A and B are shown apart, each in its own frame.
Chain A
Amino acid sequence: EAQVTQNPRYLITVTGKKLTVTCSQNMNHEYMSWYRQDPGLGLRQIYYSMNVEVTDKGDVPEGYKVSRKEKRNFPLILESPSPNQTSLYFCASSSQLAGGHEQFFGPGTRLTVL
């Protein structure tokens, strides 16, 4: 089944404790993105990647890091999480062949930073 998977689905942590949210897709997509969803703000793009080793900042990159060492994986790293990073996070992927138009989203990771 074609899908985007994220782990963990739920995470409660404390301020300053480094964490990684994994994202993996099995559709051989070139494009991958991370978004955060907050009430009243919709989805905002954190980082995106056009292909392996090619990443760029989205609209709200502060406090986050990403890497794209393999085509299928695009982990989101919070080096020192803070309470304002409490949010619902989505990973998405899309195909360069299809123009990148239709994004496939993962199920989401709900992060709480105490």
Chain B
Amino acid sequence: AQSVAQPEDQVNVAEGNPLTVKCTYSVSGNPYLFWYVQYPNRGLQFLLKYITGDNLVKGSYGFEAEFNKSQTSFHLKKPSALVSDSALYFCAVRDPSTGTASKLTFGTGTRLQVTL
């Protein structure tokens, strides 16, 4: 079974400071990992993904994430936070060995609050 954990319900950061939103995962094989963002009253939007290759992946809006196989983590990062980054962030995992492309498992979400 695949699972993902987001240990922080909320992350607070001042604008201009770096931010990190944590995610750890559990799958039986090599994972496919994703980050999505949800703005108020909106559906989720895709931010970035790790499938294979370079452990550091870059995505939309200046976000990046680092895949760490030994720590089974895929933390979301941004060098300089903006107030407009305030939203709910979801980490998701898929185990490709299941062969089911639609079977994504999401974490519980982390609310990012960026203040001036």
Same assembly? yes
The residue that A99 contacts in the complex, of B41, B43, B101, B108, with Cβ under 8 A, is B101
Q: Is the CB of B43 within 8 A of A106?
A: yes
Which segment of B10-18, B45-53, B67-75, B78-86 sits at the interface?
B45-53
* Chain B: minimal CB distance from A22 (Å): 15
Identity of the chain B residue whose Cβ is nearest the Cβ of A110 in the assembled complex: B41
| CB contact under 8 A between A45 and B49, given known A107-B43, A108-B43 | no
Complex Cα gap A92–B38 (Å): 14
A: number of interface residues (CB 8 Å): 31
* Chain A: minimal CB distance from B104 (Å): 7
| CB contact under 8 A between A42 and B101, given known A4-B43, A99-B51, A103-B46 | no
Report A91-113 residues with CB < 8 Å from chain B CB: 92, 94, 96, 99-108
User: Is A41 part of the contact surface with B, judged by Cβ < 8 Å?
Assistant: yes
Q: Is the CB of B32 within 8 A of A101?
A: yes
Query: Chain B residues with Cβ under 8 A from A90's Cβ?
Result: 43-44
List residues of A whose CB falls within 8 A of some B CB. 4, 31-33, 35, 40-45, 48-50, 56, 58-59, 90, 92, 94, 96, 99-108
9 shortest interchain CB distances as A-B pairs: A100-B101, A105-B43, A48-B102, A42-B108, A43-B106, A105-B44, A31-B102, A102-B46, A42-B106
List residues of B whose CB falls within 8 A of some A CB. 6, 32, 34, 36, 41-46, 49, 51, 90, 94, 100-109
